[in-house]
Amino acid sequence: MNYERELLKGSTDSLLLSLINREPTYGYKIIKELEKRSNGYFQFKEGTLYPALHRLEKAGLLQGKWQRLPSGQERRYYYITPKGQKALVERLAVWQNFSTAVALIMKPTTG
């Protein structure tokens, strides 16, 4: 089992909620943002982003809307819902507690 892949799998929803909470955006831009903000660390198989977005939408955490860009092209923008914002706050708290606890145990021993 790939440990890194398992970690990413468990964090994908929180990453997406966090990114969409900053500003409504669409699939292609989300991939670009994830790559940019993580200095190239997060590289998804791009097609597999959509099942995650649709799962969050079905759970009522996101809402997708087709919007026309100034260029005339249409893109499906995702907006975070109040339920999504609440879920994000909860997940951030859990993540902070978890990462603090992991860091306390896994920090390299000194001296």
Partner 1 sequence: MPAKSTYTDRLKDHLRLDSTIKNNVVREIRTHVEDKKHELVESGLSEKEAFATVTKLMGSPELVARQIYEVYSQGSWLQAIFAALPHLLVAAFFALHWWQNTFWLIGILVAVACTAIYGWSHGKPAWLFPWLGYCLMPVLAVGILLIYLPVNWAWLAACAYVPLALVIVFSVTRKISKKDWVFASLMLLPLPIMLGWVLALWILALEGNNGFLSHEQLYDFAPLMALSFAVLALTVAVFIRVRQRWLKVGVLLTLEISVLGIMALSGKSSINPFGWAGLILLAVILILGPAMLERRQRQTSRRPLNLSRKSAR
Sign of dihedral through CA atoms 40, 7, 83, 61?
positive
CB count within 10 Å of CB 51 equals: 10
Find the binder of partner 1 among 23, 46, 60, 94 (CB under 8 A).
46
By C-beta, is 58 or 107 nearer to partner 1?
A: 58
How many residues bind partner 1 (CB under 8 A)? The answer is 16
45 binds partner 1 (CB under 8 A): yes
Name the 3-class secondary structure at 109.
coil
Find the binder of partner 1 among 22, 38, 50, 101 (CB under 8 A).
50
In sequence order, the 6+-apart residues with CB closer than 8 A to the CB of 18 are: 88, 92
By C-beta, is 74 or 90 nearer to partner 1?
A: 74
8 binds partner 1 (CB under 8 A): no
73 binds partner 1 (CB under 8 A): yes
25-37 residues labelled b (16+ CB within 10 A) or e (exposed): bbbeebbebbeee
Find the binder of partner 1 among 7, 22, 28, 89 (CB under 8 A).
28
